[in-house]
A and B are shown apart, each in its own frame.
Chain A
């Protein structure tokens, strides 16, 4: 049984945000519109944060794609009064929409701020609803939603593997964000498989898990930027 995880290489990421829009179209995340967006109510399962340090002209910028890190010991799971979110046997932190009653306690509890509430009914001006992906539920007003590691793609890959009577291979499952990324910064796979690309990246000297000191047990690894030291010898890359 795989344990799903992800590695995001911040040295490859260039902040283009292809992952943000790919996630939106794959998962039927409707835009909030100008008024609601101004209130900070944009739902963005994957967002790219921009961290800037320094003063002109010595400005350092880091782009960080932020999504649900599918904690092993998730604060949102323990705080939900109706168990609308739980950790499944493969490590996914799943959101069950019909159970959610919209207390938003999970959003409060999440230290990564990756849970989003539907303040209104998601709106699609006809015929934009034609782009809705039937593999993903369309949510409704009053419930929470967040990144699912593209569980629908996991489901499809397992289906195909079962059909062909073979195990799932590394690379069979690519969440929308990983697939869109031109810099190949996002890698997804089975952390329990030592040969998988994500496992190897998670062991990099540059790898660290966000806010792991909080004990959440995140399953997303961020690989820090490397350094160019003016040679073609070994540098901060692996």
Chain B
């Protein structure tokens, strides 16, 4: 039977759906409606527009694929030094953020009580007018303060916020970034004088140890680390590097690692110093670096040799002496070696100590400034905006403010919020609700009504990165100056939205006087261009042009500017230029043996989710549908319990359990795993939103509600492994 005869037969017996589709009458409209009518396009022709990703600190440069006037796909920008063409689950899901059904489509003003979720649509003119009048009230009375609460912003967005706050007499910049690794920054400042994340030459390293940081799944810079570790593994014929992960839970990173050391939460600093002990004792450290480039070594050595013998640490940490000895020797003998710290391990009472100890271990191994080692960030040479005779408020951790001060909100008359969701990612016991309720006016810049925006008086809808001008300076970076640049890829935003810096410009103009003078630009695009003229002026790097205008066009087309010819450096910025073996931070590390005690309580370990991060990507259905790499959970949450622990508690896989801390409780399904310490219970951050669109609302559980707001911490984050909980079975699965 010839093909066409066969086809005639099958078509007769085909399904009705096929018949009608194949015979669609001419004139029937089967085209996807074009939402932005002015878009000009040729069907079938693809166009790529550079943009930057702001979902995590990684700061990947991306390319957005536009077809038929629509954003249909996101790729990494192959030229970008961070992403080099790759991307992650969250970047890949970004088109859904642009066309999400629950995006805020225009400014909203609160009706009814705060938190009731009743809004009325207002125009931008009305919204700006309200902002101006509220901020004018701040200016009028010296006892009134403006507070700007943000996440860890980067690039000129951060500069805009700092500039704006500085134009007010009484002003504060509060920061809340739950997995921000603030202790690492503080440690770097103490040891090297450089308060920025280090750059790691993973591609030339042989041994990588991560203390707590899930570097390959959700921490800091997963795409860059994915590439680096991939190369470390199989990118150099004949050489295969090793990855060791020290975490209480088998994360994706630990699962991909060659060795997993399940150290007890809180013991990481001691473990790191035990490794240092072996290296010091056996004199395996880099003597050249120590003698010429450091200070305080002798005191450090004496302290570590006295107090951190592996014999003393092993039992407390739950990692054998033999393993500690072996890993320490491997690190010293099979370098170049890099040690990284992050996530829960750098939070809580021992957090800073852990971060400092890791810096010291890297110093012993002599990695600073060497191939396969550690380098410092180099800022792109932007032009400075006109200087102001004002004082920029130093950033304060919101969490520390709430837990230390009795009345954290006192004096704050107006609060502006951008890029952070503290109502979701703070322990309820920290008092965020009370804090907000004391503040007369709260406005939120956001594309979606999330848990925090729900409590605002005014919502200012943000344009997505695909619809706005923006820049970014990724941190951590790769040791060379990198600046990402993005421009709108559509003729106008999808909805009546505006980017936060542009709103600030309009408000500044409305306020007049010194505030307006501080912002001499008609648009954020103009402000960016002014700053970027400095990159043109240096006449080097990935974009060089004869005129500034041509430079700007080329930089926009390329998605940014970077300079790969710059020599990497690890020059300490301490007063004497030497690496400092700082000791006081280590005082907080006790060899506390309180492991014995209440065995009915477990340490609650909270970690960032691969799909949702700290929760900011939970609104995207593609990511809810994704099976978590370690738990396989879709559209929900589980609590992980160690198998032997579960059997002792008579809990089976899938049972509903109640997790109770001193400050809260929640109910969730249990999942039994071998990849967890028996004395630890693990919950992923990201779910349990009260509000965040239809796909995230009321879904799963939020572990932040259980965490204790322990006092005495002046760091940026909530302690993520310093809370103990009880676990009780509620009922069995049917």
Contact = CB atoms under 8 A, between A and B. Distances in A.
A231 B597 CA distance: 43
Given A16-B89, A63-B255, A130-B32, A31 B17 contact: no
Interface in A18-51: 18, 20-22, 24-26, 31-34, 37-38, 42, 44, 47-48, 50
Given A130-B32, A228-B258, A21 B623 contact: yes
Size category, A interface: 35 or more
Contact of B73 (A26, A38, A182): A26
A112 to B, nearest CB: 17
Given A17-B626, A140-B17, A52 B675 contact: yes
B642 A22 contact: no
A170 interface: no
A181 B43 CA distance: 29
A99 interface: yes
A161 interface: no
Interface in B693-713: 694, 699
Contacts of B151: none
Interface stretch (B63-71, B129-137, B442-450): B63-71
Contacts of B88: 16, 18, 180, 182
Nearest to B85: A179
Contacts of B70: 130-132
Given A50-B629, A142-B17, A31 B99 contact: no
A16 to B, nearest CB: 6
A128 B233 contact: no
Interface in A148-192: 156, 176, 179-185
A238 interface: yes
Interface in B204-251: 206, 216-217, 222-227, 229-231, 233-242, 250
B24 to A, nearest CB: 13
Contacts of B626: 17, 20-21
B101 A126 contact: yes
B234 A125 contact: no
B74 interface: yes
Contacts of A57: 260, 262
B256 to A, nearest CB: 4
8 contacts: A9-B230, A61-B256, A82-B10, A132-B32, A182-B87, A182-B222, A223-B234, A237-B234
Interface in A216-237: 223, 226-228, 230-237
A15 B72 contact: no
B582 to A, nearest CB: 32
Given A230-B334, A233-B238, A16 B635 contact: no
A202 B119 CA distance: 60
Contact of A13 (B68, B256, B678): B256
A23 B77 CA distance: 17
A209 B330 CA distance: 34
A235 B239 contact: yes
A133 B95 CA distance: 11
A97 to B, nearest CB: 9
Interface string B337-350: 00000000000000
Given A50-B630, A236-B240, 19 more contacts: A11-B240, A14-B217, A14-B253, A15-B255, A15-B256, A17-B611, A17-B626, A17-B627, A18-B87, A22-B87, A25-B96, A31-B622, A34-B634, A42-B634, A56-B644, A101-B14, A140-B17, A180-B75, A232-B239
The 3 residue pairs across chains A and B that have the minimum distance between CB atoms: A183-B230, A182-B226, A61-B255
A35 to B, nearest CB: 9
A134 interface: yes
Contacts of A42: 625, 627, 634
Contacts of B256: 13-15, 61, 63
A165 B206 CA distance: 44
Contacts of A37: 625, 634-635
Nearest to B644: A56
Q: Which of B330, B626, B630 has most chain A Cβ within 10 Å? A: B626
B599 interface: no
Interface string B354-374: 000000000000000000000
